[in-house]
Amino acid sequence: MSPSFIVIEGLEGAGKSSAISQLTSFIANKGHDVICTREPGGTPMSEAIRECVKHDWNERVTEETELLLMYAARSQLVENVIKPALESGTWVIGDRHDWSTIAYQGGGRGIQLEKLGALRSMTLGNFTPDLSIYLDVEPSIGLQRARGRGELDRIELAGLGFFERARTSYKELVATHSNAIEINAMQTMDKVQSDLIEKLNEWYARTQADIKVGMG
Ligand code: TMP
C-alpha cells in the first residue's frame, strides 16, 4: 500500500493532539512507518515562522502578511519533509494543513478564496492530503478548553465571530470533499476516540479495496 498523507483539522480546543496520537498508533499498528508534522512549523525555518505568526506584535498584522507566512511555512514543509517522506514510503500525519488557511484566513479573516487558490496552486500545485479528518467543536467550547491550557496566542484572541466563520468554512470543506471525515469532538473523549477508530477502519478498508480493484 503506498503511503498516505493524513491531516487532522479543527478549531482550538478540538482535541487534535489526542486524535494525532491515536491516529499515529493506528497507522503504526498496520505496520507502516509514520511521521507527524505540524503547521505552521515542522522544519527549522517553518518553526521560526510559527513563532512569528503566534507572537503578539506591537503593530497591526495584516491579513495578507498572515496568509503569506502560512504558505511560506507550508511550502518549506511540503517540499523538505512531507514529499520526501512519502517518496521514501513513510506515512505522514499532519497537524493542520491547507484547510486551516481556508478556514482561518479565508473564513475567519475574510480573504477571498480566489486569492487563496492562486497562492495554493503556486506553492502546492496539485498536492493534496489523501484524507482530512475534521474535529468539529463549537468555538465557545473549544476556546474554553484552550483557555484552560494557558494563555491564548495572537490568533486565538481573534474573537468568537472569527471562529464561527472558520467553523462554517470547515463544514463546507467537509461537505464538498469525499476524502474527508467529520468527528463530533464535543462528545466524551471515549466516544470521540471510538468514532475516530471506526471511521479510520472504514477508510483503510476502502482504500485497500480500491487498490485491489486497481490491480485487478
Ligand atoms: P495550533 O496548531 O497549535 O492550533 O496553532 C496554530 C495556529 O495557527 C492556530 O491558531 C491556527 C492558526 N493557523 C492559521 O491561522 N492558518 C493556517 O494555515 C494554519 C496552518 C494555522
Question: Tens of pLDDT along 168-201?
Answer: 999 999 999 999 999 999 999 999 999 999 999 9
Question: Tens of pLDDT along 2-29?
Answer: 999 999 999 999 999 999 999 999 999 9
CA distance 93 to 34: 7
- What pLDDT does residue 154 have? 84
Q: 78 pLDDT exceeds 80?
A: yes
Question: Which residue owns the Cα nearest ligand 1 atom 18?
Answer: 101
Strand bridging mode 91-95 / 131-136: unpaired
CA distance 31 to 75: 29
Instruction: List residues near ligand 1 (CB under 6 A).
Output: 12, 38-40, 70, 95-96, 100-101, 104-105, 155-156
pTM value surpassing 0.75: yes
Domains and CATH numbers, the chain: 5-215 (3.40.50.300)
Question: Which residue owns the Cα nearest ligand 1 atom 19?
Answer: 100
Candidate of 55, 61, 75, 104 to mutate for ligand 1, largest count of ligand atoms within 8 Å of Cβ: 104
Q: 215 pLDDT exceeds 80?
A: no
- What pLDDT does residue 155 have? 83
Mean pLDDT for the chain overall: 95
Q: 77 pLDDT exceeds 90?
A: yes
Question: Tens of pLDDT along 114-138?
Answer: 999 999 999 999 999 999 999 999 9
Q: 143 pLDDT exceeds 70?
A: yes
Q: 151 pLDDT exceeds 80?
A: no
In the reported structure, the alpha carbon of residue 207 is separated from the centroid of ligand 1 by a whole-number distance in angstroms of 29
In the reported structure, the alpha carbon of residue 149 is separated from the centroid of ligand 1 by a whole-number distance in angstroms of 16
Candidate of 20, 53, 56, 96 to mutate for ligand 1, largest count of ligand atoms within 8 Å of Cβ: 96
The CA–CA distances, whole Å, from 91 to 35, 44, 64, 162, 176 equal 6, 21, 32, 33, 25
Contact, 163 vs 139, CB < 8 A? Answer: yes
